[in-house]
């Protein structure tokens, strides 16, 4: 760049005159565009027709009657000059358009003696075109730098049928009415029975609900659990900040894990229609999170756990620590091997729907009632699929209810059930085998888990 700056203004003027006489729009004219005629015009001569077209020598020796000092200044081929000629072949080519040449001659840099002129290859790049505002998507801003990458990794692994950017395409985050909509009870929709723990005994519970395979919500079961104060999102983040929990599974069944500090960040800011649901099954085997087992105890109304007699390596999964962001949930299903389940909420609120075991899978899932473009995630099920099911099958008996902190719900074996988290919810659930469901569990275990049987 310094070598460009030492070019004398007079030499640059002669070079520009030579280009104008050879390539300019009016060959032979003594006037240079952007510069008034004056000193040096007497040296201007038309280009010699004998010169080879495009020759660099012809370009640098346009004046024929110049003094020896001026001629040496104009015709000396310095090292920087050769480098410039190689770096900018467009200026040497005889095929350049006159308009482009004229625009170069009329530029302010050329009219000022070329002191600030630069090769064309060094021109500043044109600014990138910005995306149209209509196409730009407003992304969620997380607190941690790596949260977004971790969330995208788990989303891509869990659902390969849609893009991560489509997890909020139905905009349920702005439809709070779906979460606050009251349950309307009638002859078809009946409430899940409720009792208070202080009013019953374990024997009474077994006789009236467990042995009859009837669902029920029991209030005030775990008010004295340490989990009631230690399982808030903030408290869990403080305890398990760098511990990875399972938040999804991919198509091959591989567990997708995320550090809790990133998951807590995701919970507080997510806008997804059906967010990532933390379902940790490895509570006993993982030494880092085994401390969760010290924060609760199995309610005394569920004294039986015959699957505990099986070798630990062969025992099917039976305990799940769950954190469900609002709008998350599970679609209608039955628990494995005919086992019964109990579920306790420590923080948040769940909405439940249950169907009796004899109902058909097609009727309770309602996938044949979906319209084009609709999905069957938990929030869509409670929003429009469940009302359609009730209308299409008026004979279907539907049990619904809300479960709040400190309450336990009993779900008998083989009952269809689905859940929607109305708030950011923390819960613990276990499946068991006992005298109330042993025959069913034994029959299904022999068919599905021969080694366990």
What are the structure tokens assigned to 300, written together?
A: 């005394």
Sheet with 189-191: strands ordered across: 189-191, 398-403, 350-355, 416-421, 329-333
In this prediction, residue 236 has a pLDDT band, given cuts at 50, 70 and 90, of very high
What are the structure tokens assigned to 103, written together?
A: 């625009």
Return the pLDDT at 218: 98
- Phi/psi of residue 181, nearest 5 degrees: -65, 125
Bigger pLDDT: 2 vs 55: 2
Q: What is the mean pLDDT of the chain?
A: 81
pTM of the predicted model as reported, rounded to 2 decimal places: 0.70
In this prediction, residue 245 has a pLDDT band, given cuts at 50, 70 and 90, of very high
Nearest CA-CA partner of 282 in 317, 250, 309, 231: 317
In this prediction, residue 31 has a pLDDT band, given cuts at 50, 70 and 90, of very low
In this prediction, residue 316 has a pLDDT band, given cuts at 50, 70 and 90, of confident
327, 274 in Cβ contact below 8 A? yes
Cα distance between residue 327 and residue 346, in whole Å: 18
In the chain, what percentage of residues exceed pLDDT 90? 63
- Which runs of consecutive H residues, i.e. helices, occur in 24-167? 56-60, 68-75, 79-87, 89-92, 98-105, 108-111, 147-158
In this prediction, residue 284 has a pLDDT band, given cuts at 50, 70 and 90, of confident
pLDDT exceeds cutoff 70 at 165: yes
Cα distance between residue 418 and residue 425, in whole Å: 15
pLDDT exceeds cutoff 70 at 108: no
Q: CA angle, 203 as apex, 220 and 437 as ends, to 5°? A: 100
Residue 322: enclosing H or E segment and its boundaries? strand 319-324
pLDDT exceeds cutoff 90 at 354: yes
Tokens 């085998």 correspond to 433
pLDDT exceeds cutoff 50 at 382: yes
Partnered with residue 321 across adjacent β-strands are 280, 428
Q: How deeply is 295 buried, as exposed, middle or buried, from its count of CB atoms within 10 A (0-12, 13-18, 19+)?
A: middle
pLDDT exceeds cutoff 70 at 38: no
Query: How would DSSP label each residue in 56-96?
Result: HHHHH---SS--HHHHHHHH---HHHHHHHHH-HHHH-TT-
pLDDT exceeds cutoff 60 at 137: no
Q: What phi-psi label fits residue 211: left (phi over 0), alpha (psi between -120 and 50 degrees) or beta?
A: alpha
Pairing label, strands 340-347, 425-432: antiparallel
> What does the pLDDT look like over 62-78, one tens digit per residue?
444 444 444 444 444 44
Stretch 377-398: mean pLDDT, rounded?
Answer: 97
Return the pLDDT at 317: 87
Identify the weakest region by mean pLDDT among 225-239, 261-275, 301-315, 411-425: 301-315
> What does the pLDDT look like over 291-309, one tens digit per residue?
999 999 999 999 999 988 8
Return the pLDDT at 9: 60
pLDDT exceeds cutoff 90 at 45: no
In the chain, what percentage of residues exceed pLDDT 70? 69
Bigger pLDDT: 1 vs 157: 157
Return the pLDDT at 311: 80
399, 191 in Cβ contact below 8 A? yes
- Which runs of consecutive H residues, i.e. helices, occur in 206-337? 227-230, 233-239, 260-269
Intra-chain end-to-end CA distance of the chain, in Å: 84
What are the structure tokens assigned to 204, written together?
A: 């009474």
pLDDT exceeds cutoff 70 at 416: yes
């Amino acid at each position: 760049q310094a070598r460009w700056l030492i070019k004398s203004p007079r030499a640059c003027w002669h070079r520009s005159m030579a280009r104008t006489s050879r390539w300019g729009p009016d060959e032979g004219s003594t006037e240079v565009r952007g510069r008034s005629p004056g000193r040096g015009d007497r040296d201007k001569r038309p280009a010699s027709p004998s010169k080879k077209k495009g020759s660099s020598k012809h370009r640098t020796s346009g004046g024929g009657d110049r003094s020896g000092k001026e001629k040496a200044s104009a015709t000396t081929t310095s090292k920087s000059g050769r480098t410039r000629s190689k770096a900018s072949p467009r200026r040497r080519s005889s095929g350049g358009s006159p308009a482009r040449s004229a625009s170069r001659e009329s530029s302010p840099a050329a009219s000022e003696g070329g002191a600030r002129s630069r090769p064309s290859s060094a021109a500043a790049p044109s600014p990138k075109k910005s995306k149209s505002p209509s196409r730009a998507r407003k992304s969620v801003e997380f607190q941690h730098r790596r949260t977004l990458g971790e969330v995208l990794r788990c989303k891509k692994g869990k659902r390969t049928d849609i893009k991560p950017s489509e997890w909020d395409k139905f905009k349920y985050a702005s439809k709070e009415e779906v979460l606050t909509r009251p349950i309307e009870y009638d002859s078809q929709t009946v409430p899940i029975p409720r009792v208070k723990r202080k009013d019953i005994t374990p024997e009474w519970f077994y006789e009236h609900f467990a042995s009859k395979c009837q669902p029920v919500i029991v209030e005030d079961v775990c008010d004295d659990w340490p989990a009631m104060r230690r399982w808030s999102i903030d408290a869990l983040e403080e305890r398990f900040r760098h511990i990875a929990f399972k938040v999804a599974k991919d198509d091959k069944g591989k567990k997708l894990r995320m550090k809790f500090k990133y998951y807590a960040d995701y919970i507080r800011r997510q806008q997804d229609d059906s967010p990532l649901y933390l379902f940790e099954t490895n509570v006993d085997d993982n030494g880092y999170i085994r401390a969760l087992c010290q924060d609760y105890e199995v309610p005394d109304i569920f004294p039986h756990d015959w699957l505990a007699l099986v070798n630990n390596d062969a025992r099917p999964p039976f305990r799940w620590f769950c954190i469900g962001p609002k709008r998350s949930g599970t679609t209608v299903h039955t628990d494995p091997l005919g086992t019964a389940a109990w579920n306790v909420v420590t923080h948040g609120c769940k909405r439940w729907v249950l169907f009796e075991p004899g109902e058909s899978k097609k009727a309770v899932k309602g996938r044949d009632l979906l319209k084009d473009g609709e999905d069957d995630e938990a929030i869509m099920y409670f929003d429009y699929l469940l009302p359609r099911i009730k209308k299409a099958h008026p004979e279907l008996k539907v049990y619904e209810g809300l479960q709040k902190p400190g309450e336990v719900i009993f779900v008998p074996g083989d009952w269809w059930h689905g859940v929607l988290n109305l708030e950011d919810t923390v819960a613990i659930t276990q499946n068991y085998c006992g005298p109330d469901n042993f025959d069913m569990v034994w029959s299904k275990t022999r068919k599905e888990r021969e080694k366990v049987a």
